[in-house]
Amino acid sequence: MGLKRSHRLPAAIGSVVAVLAVGGGLSAAGAQEPAPPPVHSAVGPSVQAKVRGMTLEEKVGQLFVTYAYGRAADAPHPQNRTEFGVDTPAQVVQRYHLGGLIHFTWTDSLHEPRQIAELSNGVQQAAVSSGAGVPLLISTDQEQGQVTRIGEPVTQLPGNMALGAGRSPEDAETSARITGEELRAMGLNQNFAPSGDVNVNPANPVIGVRSFSSDPALAARLSAAAVHGYQDGANVAAATKHFPGHGDTNQDSHTDLPVIEHTREQWEQLDAPPFREAIAAGTDAVMSAHIVVPKLDDSGEPSTLSPAVLTGMLRDELGYRGVIVTDSLQMDGVRAKHSDAEIPVLALQAGADQLLMPQNLQVAIDGVLGAVRSGALTEERIDASVERILEMKRKRGVLDSPFVDPAAVDRVVGNAEHREQAQRLTDRTTTVLRDDAHELPLRDPGRVLVTGAGDQATAELAERFRARGREADSLPTGMTPTSGQVRQAVDAARSHDTVVVLTNAAWNGTNAAQRDLVRALQDSGTRVVAAAVRDPYDAAHVEEVPTWLATYSDKPVAMESLARVLLGEVSPAGKLPVPVPTADGTGQRFPFGHGLSW
């Protein structure tokens, strides 16, 4: 999620409405199909009364979550004029009666905690002082680890796969609670996390370390724990994603429409458990995936637009009564077959409630309004979604207390207790995969060179050595080191006693030059320790190095844990949450649960 593209405007709205005039859309043969019945959640009379008092335009606005540009609610930004026809974030909220706003770095929204809190208060004031007066859901994707939208001083955590290596539901809950408390202090009340995807495909380009595990039971336990952490611990709405499961794909739905060939039985065994457990834990929202699963729905539609998946499976079979939110509607995986006016209508017909980041907001809203007026959607169907959204806002205290105290932000965000908890749980995740030469822990590392992927990670790890009185240098070589960079690293290695080389998705063929770097360093004659700072699969691709670790994260908190393990300050406790296949993919190099300790 988070793709931003130039607009490709669809055909005239009138023609779209004509296409959608059938109650449930058109089948492949053009025959009429009944629209799925709306499923109302149990909402209080105050929510129902609020919905009854809203205009159709206000109700349709509540369905949409999008971004606005700028670091302050009343600060003009030229991109707002280009995309939304107004100047400020507050005006975007007011013009479109938005139900939610999502923040990104690329929208110039996320700078430092107090600024974020003040921006949140400003857009909330815009929402409550106009139209229906309904406060906003303010969200981001603070999954932690690889997908971390807000950086330091916000407490950084290693992410889901690291937590899978730690095996602790308590740690998963703590991680989510810390994240949620800090988001809430900055005025964000919905987090698009956790990822409940079971990463059974090592070639998955979009999930990977965002998944807790390849084991459905472990992923389910930790997904439920994270939901409790966000909602019970921090009062932030969780959104478990990406239903029906994005873990077994080798394509990225941001740029393609992935097809997953799981049978119904495989889905029940592999993909469903985390969603079942998250629903049992009370997850406020479930996010849909832009994937095609032919054996679950043979229509060819992505799950986001599939009544069989969202209504038939998620609502009727799993009994889910909360909010269904789409993944970003700008992603190519959902835009392959339909215009930007059709997509939100089809998503609503499928069973979705929140419509996230349409390619063109005005076109999307007009498409929904036109569908109601034509009868393709009923106003009752709109009401059902708005009631669920408002009920989620009520449960999280957004309707009654939408504002935060910017002066209190620094007492919560990045405080000492949170950082200490984050470090302790991260220390339980670092995994030693190989120690064939019995080099670990490094009793006398001598002069250390830290090289490989990641400017920040290499610098941070070198600093961790220096903080302990060790002599250490950093030499980042990037994701695809050139032959010149490899030679430079080898030359530097020869003047050091130990080289720690960090790899980041070196298993991926596009990053194969990282493997050349590791092999060349091993041939330099200097002691080499390799650490995979994202997927652990890298360790199977360079057998020449006898010492391999996995951190699942390149965040500073993970580099501190790596230093502690390397120097023997803590015993490694992480166990592989996924099996590591052999380089040729024909077997397992390291099995699920593998991990050395001392």
Query: For residue 178, is it left (φ>0), alpha (ψ between -120 and 50) or beta?
Result: alpha
Secondary structure of 10-54 in HEC code, one letter for each residue: CCCHHHHHHHCCCCCCECCCCCECCCCCCCCCCCCHHHHHHHHCC
Cα distances (Å, whole numbers) of residue 322 to 63, 239, 240, 304, 582: 14, 10, 11, 16, 42
Q: Report the distance separating Cα 596 and Cα 598, nearest Å.
A: 7
Q: Dihedral sign for Cα 260, 4, 120, 387, please.
A: negative
**Crossing angle, helix 216-228 and helix 169-185, to 10 degrees?**
40
Both tokens of 310, joined, read: 């969202």
Which are the contacts of 30, defined by CB distance < 8 A and separation ≥ 6? none
The dihedral sign for the CA sequence 78, 2, 481, 490: positive
Q: How far is CA 432 from CA 236, 313, 438, 529, 557, in A?
A: 35, 40, 12, 11, 17
Asked if 71 contacts 65 with a C-beta cutoff of 8 angstroms, the reply is no
147: β partners: 144
Residues near 288 by beta carbon (within 8 Å), at least 6 away in sequence? 241, 242, 243, 303, 304, 309, 310, 324, 325, 326, 327, 347, 352
User: Rounded to an integer, what distance in angstroms lies between the CA atom of residue 222 and that of residue 211?
Assistant: 10
284, 327, 353, 554: which is the annotated catalytic residue? 327
Distance in angstroms (rounded) separating the CA atoms of residues 284 and 384: 15
> Which residue, among 135, 238, 220, has the nearest Cα to 183 in the 3D structure?
238
Q: How far apart are CA 138 and CA 140, in angstroms?
A: 7
Please report the DSSP string for 322-339 in residue order. SEEEPSPTTSHHHHSSS-
- List, in sequence order, every beta strand (DSSP E) within 20-141: 64-66, 100-102, 137-140
Active site residue 327: yes
Phi, psi of 500, rounded to the nearest 5 degrees: -105, 115
User: Are the C-beta atoms of residues 107 and 68 closer than 8 Å to each other?
Assistant: yes
**DSSP β-ladder status, 100-102 and 547-550:** unpaired
Q: Which residues are catalytic?
A: 254, 327
